[in-house]
Structure 1
Amino acid sequence: MCGMGLTTSAKHDAIEQAGKSNGGTHRAMPMRTPSTSSEDDDEDIEEPQQWLPTDLTSVASASERYSDITQLLAKQQQTLQRTPDARWAMADGYDLTAYNQINGVWPLGHPLPLPDWSSAEEPAKAELIFENVWQYEELTGIIETALQRMLEETHYNTVNLFVDFYRSFKRTRRSDLRSFFQFYDVPINRRHHMCVSLAFEIIARLVQMFPQLGQYLYVVSCEEQVVDCNDYVQMDEEYGMNSADAGVEKEHVMVAMRFAIGERHGVMILDPGYHVGRAVTVMSDQSYPHTGWFNQSKEPHLQRDYCYSYSQHSDKFVEWKEREIRGDEASFKTSLIYIAQEYMTAVDVTVRRNLVYNFRSLLSRDAKGRVYAGLYFPLVSNVQEAHLTLFYDGPNEQRVKAKLMFSAFKVGKGKQLPDYVLQHLVKLSPQLNMSQHELTELCKSLCEVVSDQNFIGQVLAINDDIGVMSMEN
């Protein structure tokens, strides 16, 4: 189970020219600061009041408690690439100009906008220099503490954004989802997180602790489950990934920071979107403090291990290997993280792509990244077969899992859900940090969405087109 940017006039010219050469258009990025949920303009929808962080960390005074790191960062003060008072996060949104987000070119007939990155002539952000490994370990300890707290405090949630998408579409009274999808202003907020806003959130929290880290942390793109890494890298060299010929979907986002310990170079990877509760260290020489293989999750029927290393085909990429062990059988997958440049279309491409993905989930994680409660469901073409799975921690450390048909949530006003459904919601809701009423209403809303045969059919058709486009990757 697993954004709005400012560009130079030269950048705009290049984007407009690329749009013409691809037979597409460059859509102006609206200035939304902060970005908010699409439900905000619907007076009939009452948004549940959830925890919103005002003090992003529990550290009272980072400058005093972490004076060594503060001094290290002060020594390497670089010319800021953006205004020093950039508001990385606000009450319920993010200043997306701080993350350099723009809209990508959208060629005619292409199922997604084309991804885009910062200038290829310059490396992504500055490289943070450590005098010795102990300084690096001190910073990673601080970062991991902030990361683990964030995992506990947030959900991974592609459910509410999907409901927002559906309601916005229905309000337009249009019948063609594909044209609506192209012009939909993708909402990002601090309540309903997927990988992109989780990346924004951890950067915002770390920059509040150490403002200088804004010069080093950056958002990076990831292509999942690459068939042939060498072919993918060669394709990048031949076409460039911001070409329609590349056929990439960039369905995942992480955070990276380039660094050096003396003369040794590496990159730190943060991946809260896949519930990774550690700051992963990737050294070019693969020597300490290189992380190597580690266990991400372990259940009776499945063990999942991760490993990150520089790609042997190009140091522009980090290979993320995943090993799944079921009984005596092991299977492997490899994804490619592009670290050479800052990813500028995380919202326009990656969030948009996930809106039409055929699997949705709402998950609670603990500080170590263990997913212990949530719900998930596939989108199916026959809406009569639509179902969801609930799971949560039961007594005696036993995992409770229940598969429910969505039809169980079709009840008239004033009528209760079936008792067997309520029994699960009563136990699940506190583990999702939701009231039983909020969880019940969310499930009813999902029932409405997945029962709309026309809408679900169009979502699956767009998802299929994206899959065909990226099949060779």
Structure 2
Amino acid sequence: MGLTTRSAAAPERAGTTSGTGAIRRTPSTSSSEEDYEDEELVQPQPTDLTSVDAPERYSDVRQLLARQPVQPLEGITGSGWVVGDGYDLEAFNQVNGVWPLGHPLPLPDWSSGGKSTLVFDNVWQYEELNGIVETTLQRMLEETHYNTVNLFVDFYRSFKRTRRSDLRSFFQFYDVPINRRHHMCVSLAFEIMARMVQLFPVLANYLYVVSCEEQVMDCNDYVQLDEECGLNSVDAGVEKEHVMVAMRIAIGERRGVMILDPGYHVSRAVTVMQDQSYPHTGWFTQSKEPHLQRDYCYAYSQQNNKFVEWKEREIRGEDTSYKTSLIYVAQEYITAIDVTVRRNLVYNFRSLLSRDAKGQVYAGIYFPLVANVQESYLTLFYDGPNEQRVRTKLMFSAFKVGKGKLPDYIGQHLSRLAPQLRMPLQELTDLCKSLAEVVTDQNFIGQVLAINSDIGNMSVEN
């Protein structure tokens, strides 16, 4: 089980989908990435949940929550959702999906019951809670890293310890250790939920994990696919490579949803109203660099309000391009670990990033997985003197020195990067050496890329 945790007294739970030749396993996890060549990156170390503000604060919000018809179950606290270095997966309703024979991933699944809607009398009440959520989210962005590097190293070491040769069968039964140190989108969703429930236990009835299909080719076809066969079927061929957090809201008679996306470094508690009137967030600039501006907008799908469309606009000089992803907000996503984290575990891009409170990535490392491992390289970046960004590519072969000393130029870069990643220099050095071993293992990388290709082929029409 690694660091994956669940309540000792809780019964084993199973996914509800059915499929021919299905195999059921124990829980697991993965991560999501994007093109970091074009943008600044970020993420720090987790803090204790006691870092949130004192419980006597926010009296107006507490009074509002106390008036809600749905009240917290006895004993629910944010710290109760955290178990040691990990999370109580029962608290997040996480189960295993069904894995049909020959399918590259388990099938996603959703809870049959829905979370409640948080009701506000007026916009000002909502604004106050939204501000608290946003402040908590921004603090978390500063205190955590986005990190799919350590999970990948753990995956490799676990595989090598088995002395097996077939990665695909190992991948199917691997129980990914999700924890509070090495965050990707799923554990970041868990973390912000746990912190908010620590502040306001009643929010356990409202916050829920939602799934996201990135860069959908045709939104109409995708929505129709859900209507015809369901997204939890083999025919859907979905990856669900990203997750966010949602909360249904009502301001008087007006309906909407709050979206939190720490996995993509979004520092805003985004408001999506069905009527698209205030406090609907609309378009905002997520990141802005001299060569690239990236803007986001979230709005309910005009085809089906089970979905929220997440539009991304990239402006490069005179050129503008758009991408659309679909967030399924109708139900709580209960296979975030088994499907999403597992999917991202074999994705062909890895990163470890530090972010500031506004979600700007300022230091980190990232690398693609390449078929010819002798050509594998690492990119590292950090803030240099005079507000200059330092970015350099280093061949992984340069890190293969055994117990010897790294070349001076590499040591200098790592010594400047380590403080901005809030890592001891020796820990960062050892991690880079471990990565060199992993990414230059031709047999392992070849099998990882083959699994990733199969998943891409499965979802190519989406």
Relative to the length of structure 2, the TM-score reads 0.92
**What do you get for the CA RMSD once the two structures are aligned?**
2.0
User: Aligned with 2:99: secondary structure?
Assistant: strand
Determine the C-alpha separation between the residues in 1 that align with 2:181 and 2:315.
Answer: 34
Aligned to 2:390: 400
Gaps of 5+ in 2: 30-43
Match of 2:320 among 317, 330, 345: 330
- Partners of 1:199 and 1:82 lie apart in 2 by 23
1:169-227 alpha-carbon deviations (Å, 9 max, x no partner): 00000000000000001110000000000000000000000000110000000000000
SS at match of 2:81: coil
Q: What residue is the counterpart of 1:433 in the other structure?
A: 422
Query: Which structure is higher in RCO with an 8 Å CA cutoff and minimum separation 6?
Result: 2
SS of 1:106's equivalent in the other structure is coil
1:28-427 to structure 2, matched below 5 A, reads 29=27, 52-61=46-55, 64-78=56-70, 84=76, 87-119=80-112, 122=113, 124-413=114-403, 415-427=404-416
User: Which amino acid letter does the alignment assign opposite residue 382 of structure 2?
Assistant: Y
Q: Which runs of 5+ in 1 are unaligned?
A: 36-49
Q: Secondary structure at the match of 2:338?
A: helix
1:457 to 433, 436, 446: 446
* Contact 1:57 1:209 (8 Å CA) reproduced: no
CA contact (8 A) 2:246 2:259 kept: yes
Contact 1:5–1:101, Cα closer than 8 Å, also in 2: no
Give CA deviations for 1:93-137 in whole Å, capped at 9, x if unaligned.
Answer: 100100000000000000000000011xx4x30000000000000
Deviation per residue, 1:303-357 (Å, 9 max, x gap): 1000000001100000000001111101100000000000000000000000000
**Superposition misfits of 4+ residues, deviation over 6 angstroms:** 3-6
One-letter amino acid of the counterpart of residue 25, structure 2: R
Distance 2:451 2:49 in 1: 40
Q: Quick one: distance in 2 between partners of 1:236 and 1:82? A: 37
Q: In 1, distance between residues paired with 2:160 and 2:25?
A: 23
Give the counterpart of 1:446 among 431, 435, 455.
Answer: 435
Q: Is the 8 A contact 1:4 1:100 kept in 2?
A: no
Residues of 2 paired with 1:437 and 1:4: CA distance? 29
Distance 1:305 1:52 in 2: 28
1:23 Cα deviation after fit: 2.3
Percent same amino acid at aligned positions? 75
Q: Which whole-Å CA distance do the structure 2 matches of 1:154 and 1:312 have between them?
A: 35
Distance 1:85 1:377 in 2: 38
- Report the count of equivalent residues: 441
What TM-score does the superposition give when structure 1 sets the normalisation length?
A: 0.90
Alpha-carbon distance, 1:29 to partner: 5.0
Decide whether the 8 Å contact of 1:195 with 1:252 is kept in 2.
yes
Tell me how far apart the structure 1 counterparts of residues 325 and 168 of structure 2 sit (CA, whole Å). 28
